[in-house]
Amino acid sequence: MGFKSGNKIKIEGGMSSMTDLVFLLLIFFIVISTMITAGVNIDVPKKGGSESKSKILSVNINDKNEYFINGGSTPIISTNIKSEILKNLGRDSVISLYGSNESSWEASVYIIDIAKQNDIKISLNGNKK
C-alpha cells in the first residue's frame, strides 16, 4: 500500500518582494546621483603652484559700510569706489575683499559686481584685524 502525503513543505523563497526591493534601491541611487551632480565647480589649487605675479588690491568694508583700499585711513564713498578700483588695478589683478561681520551684504555684493563686470578675480576673506 502506497500512501502519499499531500502536505509537502515548499522550500522556495518568494522572489517578487526581493525584486521590488532591488528596483526601489535602483531608483533611490539614480535620484541621489542626479542631485549630486548639480553643484558649483570650484577651481582648487594644485600642489607646487608658483607665486602669483598679479597685483592684489585689498578692499576693506567696515561696520558703517565704508570702503577702504589697501588699508587706507580715508573712506571712499560707494559712488567713487568703482573708479578707484579700476584706477589701482591692471591686467591679471585680484581684489581681496575683507568684510566686517556688521557690514551689509549689499556693500560686499557691489564690489563683487564690479569685479565680475570687469573680469577681475576676487578673493573673499573674513574681517581683517
- Cα–Cα distance measured from residue 90 to residue 120, given in angstroms and rounded to the nearest whole number: 9
Please report whether residue 101 resides in a domain: yes
Domain hosting 101: range is 56-125
Q: What is the mean pLDDT of the chain?
A: 80
pLDDT at 24: 94
**Residue 112 is part of a domain; what is its CATH number?**
3.30.420.270
pLDDT at 23: 94
pLDDT, average across residues 82-95 = 81
Q: State the total domains in the chain.
A: 1
- Cα–Cα distance measured from residue 100 to residue 70, given in angstroms and rounded to the nearest whole number: 15
Q: What are the two backbone dihedrals, phi and then psi, of residue 123, each rounded to the nearest 5 degrees?
A: -120, 120
Q: pTM of the predicted model, to two decimals?
A: 0.56
Q: Is the pLDDT of residue 39 over 60?
A: no
pLDDT, average across residues 22-47 = 78
Please report whether residue 48 resides in a domain: no
From residue 99, alpha-carbon distances to 7, 9, 86, 126 in Å are 81, 76, 19, 6
Decide if 127 contacts 96 (C-beta within 8 A).
no
